[in-house]
């Protein structure tokens, strides 16, 4: 049986939570749209061995690797917060999983390492319906940002 596709997406916020880092992706399911930092689980880079017990560990490793590859920021697993795991059932990626994380980084620590444009986006703008056409996903990014803000405010 073929291994299901697993994606991580991470919403990185500045310390006062007023801005979130988006990347205008050139590839993946939503090219040209703004999304969080992230990508697909790589079985060799992330050391994935399979099984439910391993999912949390390896998806966290996948999220941290994507952050490092796309921004140069090295984030400890304790600084990364799992928000939600969503499973999609459609004709293209039946059973694909999206693991959604959030964290806080200093804006000046983020480097432009890949050819995909990074944008520090005002959080309040995420909730403006006029901006939703620029966002990846199927309307779930405002919901993810709301969950992230709640989680990060709880930790402060």
Q: Is residue 113 included in any domain, yes or no?
A: yes
CB atoms near residue 39 (< 10 Å): 18
How far apart are the C-alpha atoms of 27 and 77, rounded to whole Å?
26
Q: Is residue 26 included in any domain, yes or no?
A: yes
pTM: 0.90
Segment among 80-84, 88-92, 103-107 with least mean pLDDT: 88-92
Question: Where in the sequence is the domain holding 62, given as residue range(s)?
Answer: 6-155
- The reported pLDDT for the residue numbered 47 is 63
Name residues whose C-beta falls within 8 Å of residue 78's C-beta, 6 or more positions apart in sequence: none
Nearest to 142, CA basis, from 28, 60, 22, 40: 22
Q: Is residue 107 included in any domain, yes or no?
A: yes
Structure tokens at 77: 């697993």
Domain count, the chain: 1
CATH number of the domain where residue 77 is located:
3.90.79.10
Number of H helices, E strands in the chain: 3, 7
Q: Is residue 1 included in any domain, yes or no?
A: no
Q: Is residue 86 included in any domain, yes or no?
A: yes
Q: Is residue 24 included in any domain, yes or no?
A: yes
Query: 3-class SS at 17?
Result: coil
Nearest to 54, CA basis, from 94, 104, 6, 16: 6
Segment among 93-102, 104-113, 138-147 with least mean pLDDT: 93-102
1: pLDDT strictly greater than 60: no
Q: Is residue 19 included in any domain, yes or no?
A: yes
């Amino acid at each position: 049986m073929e291994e299901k596709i697993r994606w991580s997406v991470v919403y990185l916020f500045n310390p006062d939570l007023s801005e979130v880092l988006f990347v205008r992706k050139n590839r993946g399911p939503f090219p040209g749209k703004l999304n969080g930092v992230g990508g697909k689980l790589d079985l060799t880079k992330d050391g994935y061995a399979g099984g439910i017990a391993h999912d949390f560990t390896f998806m966290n490793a996948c999220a941290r690797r994507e952050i490092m590859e796309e921004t140069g920021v090295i984030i400890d697993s304790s600084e990364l917060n799992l928000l939600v795991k969503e499973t999609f059932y459609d004709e293209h990626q039946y059973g694909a999983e999206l693991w959604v994380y959030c964290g806080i980084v200093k804006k000046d620590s983020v480097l432009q390492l890949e050819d995909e444009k990074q944008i520090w986006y005002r959080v309040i703008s995420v909730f403006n319906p006029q901006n939703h056409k620029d966002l990846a996903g199927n309307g779930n990014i405002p919901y993810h940002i709301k969950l992230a803000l709640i989680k990060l405010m709880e930790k402060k």
